[in-house]
Structure 1
Amino acid sequence: MSDPVFRILGPLEVQTSAVDLAPLPPGRHEIVLGALLIEANRVVRVDQLIDAIWYDDPPATARTQVQICVSGLRQHLAPLGQDVSIVTRSPGYILRVARDQVDAHLFAELVAESDVLAREGRREEASQRIRRALDLWRGFALSGTQSRVLQAKAAQLDEKRLSAIETYTELELVLGRHHRVIDDIGPLVTEHPLRERLRGQLMLALYRAGRQADALRAYRDGRQVLVDQLGLEPGEELRRLERAILAGDAGLRPETPVAVTAPTPIAAPAAQEVTPRLLPPDLSDFTGRGDLVELLEAQLTGADRRDAPVAILTGKPGVGKTSLALHVAHRVRDAFPDGQLYADLSGTRTEPASPVDVLDCFLRNLGLPGEAIPDGLDARTETFRGLLAGRRMLIILDDAHSDTQISALLPAAPSCGVVVTTRTRLTGQPWATIVEVEVMDDEQSLRLLGAVIGEARLAAEPAAADALIRLVGGLPLALRVVAARLAARPHWSLAWMRERLADERRRLDELAHGSLMVRASLALSYDGLEPDARRMLRMLSGLDAVTLPVWAGSSLLEIDLFRASDLLEVLVDVQLLEIAAVDLNGSPRYKFHEIIRLFAREQLELDESPQARMDELTRVAGGWLSLAQEAHRRIYGGDYTVVLGGAPLSPPPHSYVTQVLTDPLRWLEAERANLCAAVAQAAKAGADELAWSLAVALVALFETRCYYEDWERTHTQALAAAQSAANHRGTAALLCSLGSLHLSRSRLDEAEQVIVPALAGFAELGDVAGTALARRNLALLHQLRREGTRAMAGYQESLADFATIGDPIGQAHVLSQMAQLELAAQSLEPAAAYLHRALALSRGIGTRRVESQVRYRLSGLLMSQGRHEDAEDLLADVLELVQSAGDVVGHGRILHRLGVINARLGRGREAQRLLREALAVRQQVLDRQGVADIRAELAKLALDPSLDPV
């Protein structure tokens, strides 16, 4: 087989003895050729080539420049003949070339052939084949090529080389050539100290060469690197190998006899009382948790106790329960001089450790010979507790599965202490202290990150460091992965790590380093769930809600509330959900840690079809829509002053609705973040009818509490969906509502731009309710522009429309505005008539909010009649109403009017107090005109000598 023409396993080279080739132009030509060679005989898209050359900053002429590069490469490679060609194939280019003429592809073929030979038992041939593959390498893949994209692909090739070296080393060890292995991989272990498989192979080779001390030193060196850089202990396989080397295990001998003097076997000790020291090492960079450390130390070493103290550490996956337990254990070990026992109970694995097997290990470590260990759980538990009687011993039970698993492992002697870690909430040990281990706060997270990567590096990029902590949500395992990757790549900036984590779709891919894998940690808990609980978790993750009520889980799985509650509590017990708050009916609300949500969404996309995901959104958003519309009805006394959409409703159980909507504005306030998120998610998913219906149903909240940003954001999102779907009614309803928003904020030109097309849209649809609302808004626009005649005409038309559809609240609103026009013209009798009609309509429906608005208008009439004390009395009653309803706008207006009344009655000090309160409220709601009016009143107060001193 001839040498490859194209070589990328090192600096990019094109070499052939058959023809003379000019040197390849560096820069773009080299990058494009490298990208084509990596994907030889496969299409490489033009946009991929653009990314490889310019990454995220391509020029406008990028495609043209790529075409020029490809043309230049074709000319450069022309002397190689028809065996090599660059073919245009939509949407990019293919480099046609025999696979054995590209060293990277030849390398892959040789490794694959070696694998087949090894499986057939032809190990010598397999070793030779993979050796040939490794000889193709001349350095790091594509070294010297200046492209982020190609560097990432080159790193994958480098990783394949290291994997091939490990496979080759395995074959050489099987063939008994451990002396050669030592020379081959010794330098590589130094270069890649975190590769545990490679280090284990070196340890085995050294041991077989009779260098037991060097083999153990290699282990200790590797452990120190892992602890220093990652804060982790070696994996179980490497620890098992170390124990085997210490014991001179005969199983470590090679299959092929070699001339190595075996170590003299050590005679087994006679049965005796021993002091076991089984604690894994403490983390050298353990950070934070000071309050928990202090609590656990006091629990374990307190003098006055009748039973063995048991501390159960519970928390979500990756929160650092084991690290905390071991740190505390090392701090208190002197208080337990008779020894420390440790067991990994494998509670999150498919087959948790059996208490019978754990007791066998404990009894042997306590000095009991194997032949003296009894059969059966009860007998072993009795023997274990008997051996511990009167002894001061610490026991660490890591990753417990259940109360049943640990019960037999707990000592009876009060002189002992126990620390249990678990992801499950264990409640069967009533005397135990339950310690919730939470995620780290920002300060602790920064200290952990700095301990691994260095304080100087942290201080150089404080904003990026803060962003990294937010992206992993303070989860210690995720933080350690980030820190480990940064420590292993000192040339990476924190900002670059932040960019890699920013894409939610890739975040869990990025949170993996060696044996540290956030996804794998979460999968252990997820895989152990019953099918319904797994489905509940992944379906919940599909919602963008901030917190999740029980009814949402019920709606998602179409099950009753109590079954949904049971499943949600299972997820809480295994730390995959958190309790966020208590709902207005007293039931819990739940939330995700963001990393767990991302994991659950991966499972959602794997296991649920797009249609199922749309159905779940429709059901839950339909539930929120049903509740929001019912809240509107209770505020206004019916479906008044609102355009209702035709989105499907999924009402929660009637008992829930009755309980939470006793105070509808309070419910809307509590649910605001979720309701806004539901609008955004429905709009993004193309559920236009749901999006606009829910958006307009929330206006009572937005208007009353002055959530103007939410009002504009939800309506803009829903409007984009409605317009995209040619939903004319939804478009008109949203434009009309946006008109109300702009009028509230005195944006008159913007208001006109949306109200006019809204009115036209409703008129074309023949929608009388919508037309009435749009005409009312247009009349108010004329009124604010001081166009009284046009405003009155518009109100008359709107009033007739509201009367036609039987909307008394709409009529009351319009009559109040007509009264305002008459008051401005000093026509007091018509104004009084309109207001009394409005008051009768609002009282007939029983809506105190609308009634308070009408009574506020009546106070203005009384002031115009010179009846300031009567107006003051009326407003005092109205003030209580708006305060109890949380009506911020109304509160500011009433305080303002009370201040004016007090000024006219000569009470300067009280007027000033009320106006200043009003000023603060109106500034809060960004009422620019109201703020200006109040400041003018305060200025007049300061200059009027007839008033009492201010």
Structure 2
Amino acid sequence: MSPLAFRVLGPLQVHGPDGPLRLPPGRQEVILAALLLEVNRVVSTNHLVDLIWEDNPPETARTQVQICVSRLRKLLAGADGEVSITTRPPGYVLHTDAANVDAALFTDLVLRARRLREKGELDWAVRLLRGAVTLWQGDCLPGLDSGPLANKARQLNEERLTAVELRIQLELELGRYDGLVGELQRLTHEHPLREKLRGQLIQALYWSGRQAEALEAFRTARRFLAEELGLEPSRELRELESAILAGRLPAPTGAVPVPAVVRVPEEKASPEEPARPAVVESAEDTETTTAPSAESVRQDAVPHQLPAAVADFVSDAGQLAALEEALTGRPGRTTVGLAAITGKPGTGKSTLAVHVAHMLSETGFPDGQLYCDLRGTTGTPATPEEVLGRFLRALGIPGQLIPESLDERAEMYRTRLASRRVLVVLDDAAGEGQVLPLLPGSRGCAVLVTGRARLTALPGAHRVELDVLAEDRALELLSRIIGRERVAGEAAAAEALVRTVGRLPLALRIVAARLAARPHWTLASMVQRLANERHRLDELTHGEMTMRASLSLTYEGLAPEDRRLLRLLSMAQAPTLPSWLAGALLDDRRPFPSDLMEPLVDVQMLDVAGVERTGGFRYRFHEIIRVYAREQLAAHHTPEERQEALARMAGGWMHLAQQAHRKVYGGDFTVLHGDAPRWEPPDSYTDEVLADPLAWLDAEQASLCGMVEHTADAGLHDLSWDLATSLVTLFEVRGHYDLWEQTHLSALAAVRKAGNLRGTAAIRASLGSLYMSRNQFDTARQALNSALDVFQALDEPMGEALCRRDMALIARSSGDDTSALELYRRSLADFDRAGDVVGRAIVLTQSAHIRMRQGEIAAAQSQLDEALDIYEGVGYTGGRARTLRRVGQLLLEQGRSDLAVLTFTEVLELCRDSGDVIGEGHLLRDLGHAFVIMGRPDRARDFYDRAVTAREGVMDFSGGALARLDLARLLDAEPGRSRELLVPAVEVFRERRMGRELAEAERLLATGC
């Protein structure tokens, strides 16, 4: 059973065996965060109350905390994690292994690092501190609405910076100056007031031989402090400057300057053993010119086969240290040192390998360095026999003595290296089978392998997977090639340039080389040349460096079906790609479509971006690889083939969106669908990924909206309108009105162009709902009337029902109850004709509100009871919540205020649990009304205030204006506050043509003034 993992060092997250757990926003998040920050320790209930309400908790505060804790227990228990929340006076304890909470793990790692420092084990302390800082994913707990919790988060943020400063100090003491400069420049830019970081930057620059830059760093600090704070630098910074000027700056404690060249003394002969013979330089120096014997083989041949290192290499100190340890050996190691560097094309695998090999050549491997390009990404990879032949000749074995068979060559190779310390660099390996015969047997030797495949079957290998450069390192590389002054002069363009090439080292080297060769070019002009995706790869070439050639090596090495998938995947415009897309694009219905993706991951043409709740993986392209794949798509597929693949991909999204709607509503209710074919992912995948359909719609929002526009642009109009209207399930609940309009206008253009009358009417009807939700009633009427005319002509009862239902709601909002009831009557008949029971329940609930206003309490109650029965039958929680809200209003009408408050509170929790932000705003206002009726204006004021915040927080300004008007009625004794509320409300009422509300707001404003 996998434990739950909790993250507070960044956004609050809980990860379980099946992926991330969705946490209800608000109080439960605050309580869980507080318990995690004190994991395995008691957190008092009073403290939790203070975290949520601070100075003004309600009477039911402790009860509400208990409810939240109870829900958290259910959430965590349902995830099968080894975690529990227990009641222990005076509060609660969250029990779990502290290692499962990133904040506790961070604190433990920092504490252990400090202890190691005290023992003098600086290198291990650095490793622990690096590990501690990598736990962070941003600022601690951003966005949680709790002042006291924010103070604790700020404290942890400070501890993070302190840990970074400590780690840098230790690395300075270890003499790792060069590798720290770029990082310190970034940190001082991000945290300009931390003088310790500035002092460390000055030391790193000075001890890297950059005295002038060190002094300039001090002057920069002095100017900043004077201009921003009116202060002089600290005594420590001033002493650093004085020491530099005097040439007496001591090296940080523990640092040992590394000599330029370290010579290993020659091994002396023992008394029993003669000295080594001189090197035989040619056949003429031997006793005979016939074929050499085994005794005449040169025993002291020292190969130096490494290619030249790159002068402008940008290092990662931690990465280099880990590779050095893996290759040179830990104490007591009994096997050959082995490290594998992998990564996608252009990430600098060979550059790093050669740099490390040169770095270790003198001190770590004095008996030589062997190097071979294994040509793994070419059509003719080197065979192990071929490589062993080359290596044996380099080790002094004459060609005539090299055996033919692989096994015999490997035995001779291992024997030759048995007593030596040799580093073997195997560049561009195709796979483990090519590498295994080339491994020495001696623990004194080491092997460094690079490859695009992950080489996971190499026994005991330390693995480094290169990715794109961090932005600061990318800018550092650019600066080293074209000059710091040029980069500083166009800082914004430099940042845009590294982003445009995706921070890929090879691509960045190419553009930098082009700029270096053309000093009259600006960086901005290079960004502009790269902006056109169709020609980007044409620009990424200089001399023999070309990004297209690098990618082609890997692409051509793929199996034909893998190449086809790579090409088709480039059509997807989603930020990440679910595994089922591979099945849809290839029309392959295997149960585990991720198997189709994995060959592309193995050679790093695709990256794994995350794990879904199903356990399946999500993938993504590096931008330049996607551009290359699109080039290949255009070259190998006809427009018809591309259109067919796109239709299958869109059909898959449509199927999942339709199933999500069904799970929310209990069936295909209150929605129209088109006739475009669906592509169905495996049933097991669909069931698991849609276990929480709204959460899935939320998570895939960008992909789904992008697909609406993609299909519209491609002329797949039936899919475009169908998907757009299906997404209203999400837009309506979450209040995504802008996305609602954006997707629908794209689909509308497509259906109009295609002459698709039914699709046009469906989109117009849905837009009518949107405009009505915004209180743009005139625009809504126009859209609904035009849609209704088409639906009547097509005899489409579902369409007619939807239009009349929304037109009734407009009439009701305008005070025309008679017209509203007639429209509801006809809508009810339409829904019955379409066989839509949920549509019927919605009409019953909405028309019951009018019955209430007209005093027909029994009729209203009967309609609400029928609606509740329908919702219970199909399992539509959202509909049940809306009907229960009307039940609460009915209870108010009957004078049963206490029961009404309980009902509203229950519905409010339902809305929060489902993420229904619009419903939450309605319920807060209802509770305000209830407390006004109960004669408790202070409580009413609190709920109205929260209603204003909730409605305006989702850009629902008309709803916010109504709550402002409610609040202003209670504040007649506070004219200043009333005016503050009413002035923006008047503007909204005037803009939305809400006549009755505008008149009352203006009256109150005049009275208050």
TM score, norm. by length of structure 2: 0.65
Q: Which residue of the other structure, out of 320, 328, 343, is the alignment partner of 2:348?
A: 320
Assess if the C-alpha contact under 8 Å between 2:420 and 2:444 holds in 1: yes
Q: State whether structure 2 residue 579 is matched by structure 1 residue 579.
A: no
1:281 counterpart (305, 308, 315)? 308
Shift in Å at residue 342 of structure 1? 1.4
2:773 equivalent to 1:755: no
| Residue 348 (1) aligns with residue 377 (2) | yes
Deviation at 1:904, TM superposition (A): 4.7
Matched, 1:920 2:945: no
- Return the alpha-carbon distance in structure 2 between the equivalents of residues 500 and 269 of structure 1: 61
Aligned to 1:667: 696
| Helix, strand or coil at the partner of 2:600 | helix
Q: Distance in 1 between matches of 2:476 and 2:775?
A: 49
Counterpart residue identity of residue 301, structure 1: T
Which amino acid in structure 2 is aligned with residue 869 of structure 1? D
State the alpha-carbon separation in 2 of the partners of residues 762 and 571 from structure 1: 48
The Cα shift of 1:762 comes to 1.6
Residue in 1 aligned with 2:459? 430
Q: Which runs of 5 or more residues in structure 2 are unaligned? A: 1-280, 287-297, 975-1009
**1:406-805 → structure 2 map (5 Å cutoff):** 406-562=435-591, 564-805=593-834
CA distance in 1, matches of 2:329, 2:420: 16
| Cα distance, 1:944 vs structure 2 | 7.6
C-alpha contact 1:581 1:589 (8 A) present in aligned 2: yes
Q: In 1, distance between residues paired with 2:633 and 2:399? A: 49
Distance between the aligned counterparts of 2:804 and 2:613, measured in 1? 38
Where do 1:855-894 residues align within 5 Å? 855-894=884-923
Tell me the matched-pair count. Answer: 681
Match of 1:109 in 2: none
Shift of 1:432: 0.8
Aligned-residue Cα RMSD (Å) equals: 2.3
Residues 906 and 289 of structure 1: is their aligned pair in 2 closer, same or farther, counting only changes over 3 Å? farther
SS in 2 for 1:314: strand
Cα drift, residue 826 of structure 1: 5.4
1:937 is displaced (CA, Å) by: 4.6
Q: Distance in 1 between matches of 2:775 and 2:314?
A: 54
Summarize the alignment of residues 356-395 of structure 1 with structure 2, pairs less than 5 Å apart.
Answer: 356-395=385-424
What letter matches 1:795 in structure 2? Y
Deviation string 1:637-695 (CA, Å, 9 cap, x unpaired) is 22111111111122222222222222221222222222222211111110101111111
Contact 1:550 1:561 in 2 (8 A): no
| Deviation of the 1:521 alpha carbon | 0.7
SS at match of 2:427: strand
Relative to 1, partners in 2 of residues 1:920 and 1:276: Cα closer, same or farther, differing over 3 Å? Answer: farther
TM-score, normalisation: structure 1: 0.69
Counterpart in 2 of 1:839? 868
Of 292-301 and 892-901, deviating more is: 892-901
Q: What is the correspondence of 1:244-263 to structure 2 with a 5 Å cutoff?
A: none
| Separation (CA, whole Å) in 2 of partners of 1:918 and 1:292 | 52
Note the C-alpha offset of 1:302: 3.7
Letter in 1 for 2:823: G
Q: Bigger shift: 280-289 or 693-702?
A: 280-289
Q: Label 1:873 to 1:532 Cα distance change in 2 as closer, same or farther (>3 A).
A: same
Offset of 1:824 from its aligned partner?
4.5
User: Using the alignment, how far apart are the partners of 1:396 and 1:768 within structure 2?
Assistant: 73
User: Structure 1 residues 709, 449: closer, same or farther in 2, change over 3 A?
Assistant: farther
1:798-826 alpha-carbon deviations (Å, 9 max, x no partner): 22211222212112222222223344455
Per-residue Cα deviation, 1:577-634 (whole angstroms, up to 9, x for no partner): 1112222321112221111111112112211111111111111211211121121112
Shift of 1:941: 5.8
User: In the alignment, does 2:352 pair up with 1:307?
Assistant: no
CA contact (8 A) 1:532 1:567 kept: no
Q: Secondary structure at the match of 1:383?
A: helix
Structure 2 counterpart SS, 1:285: coil
Residue by residue over 1:423-456, the C-alpha shift from the partner in whole angstroms, topping out at 9 and shown as x without a partner, is 0121221311222111112222222222222223
Choose the corresponding residue for 2:358, options 321, 327, 330: 330
Shift of 1:866: 2.4
Q: Is the 8 A contact 2:347 2:468 kept in 1?
A: yes
Cα pair 1:551 1:561 within 8 Å, conserved:
no
Deviation string 1:484-520 (CA, Å, 9 cap, x unpaired) is 2222222222222222211211111111111111111
- Alignment counterpart, residue 319 of structure 2, candidates 292, 309, 323: 292
Query: 1:408 aligns to what SS in structure 2?
Result: helix
Within 2, Cα distance between the matches of 1:756 and 1:268? 104
Deviation at 1:483, TM superposition (A): 1.3
Q: In the superposition, relative to structure 1, how do residues 783 and 414 fare at CA in structure 2: closer, same or farther (>3 Å)?
A: same
Match of 2:848 among 805, 819, 835: 819
Structure 1 residues 72-87: aligned runs within 5 Å: none
Aligned partner of 2:219 in structure 1 is: none
In structure 2, distance between residues paired with 1:777 and 1:481: 59
1:400 counterpart SS class: coil
Partners of 1:759 and 1:774 within 8 A in 2: yes
Question: SS of 2:428's equivalent?
Answer: strand
- Listed one character per residue, the Cα deviations across residues 162-206 of structure 1 (whole Å, up to 9, x for unaligned) are xxxxxxxxxxxxxxxxxxxxxxxxxxxxxxxxxxxxxxxxxxxxx
Q: Distance in 2 between matches of 1:762 and 1:285?
A: 69
Matches of 2:484 and 2:963, distance apart in 1 = 53
Question: Once the 2 structures are TM-superposed, how far is the Cα of residue 339 of structure 1 from its aligned partner?
Answer: 1.9
Match of 1:176?
none
Change (3 A) 1:867 1:528: same
Secondary structure in structure 2 of the residue aligned to 1:506 = helix
Asked if the contact 2:948–2:961 (Cα under 8 Å) also holds between the matched residues in 1, the reply is: no
- Partner of 1:808 in structure 2? 837
Structure 1 residues 742 and 289 mapped into 2: Cα distance closer, same or farther (>3 Å)?
Answer: farther
Of 348-357 and 747-756, the range deviating more from structure 2: 747-756
**Residue 732 of structure 1 aligns to a residue in which SS?**
helix
Identity %: 47
Question: Unmatched 5+ residue regions in structure 1?
Answer: 1-264, 946-950
Tell me: CA distance 1:822–1:268, structure 2 relative to 1, closer, same or farther (3 Å): farther
The whole-number CA distance in structure 2 between the counterparts of 1:562 and 1:382 is 46
Alignment CA distance shift 1:320-1:692 (3 Å): same
1:866 corresponds to which letter in structure 2?
A: G
In the TM superposition, what whole-angstrom CA distance separates every residue of 1:397-433 from its partner, at most 9, and x where no partner exists? 1100111111111112112222111001212213112
Match of 1:234 in 2: none
Amino acid at match of 2:497: L
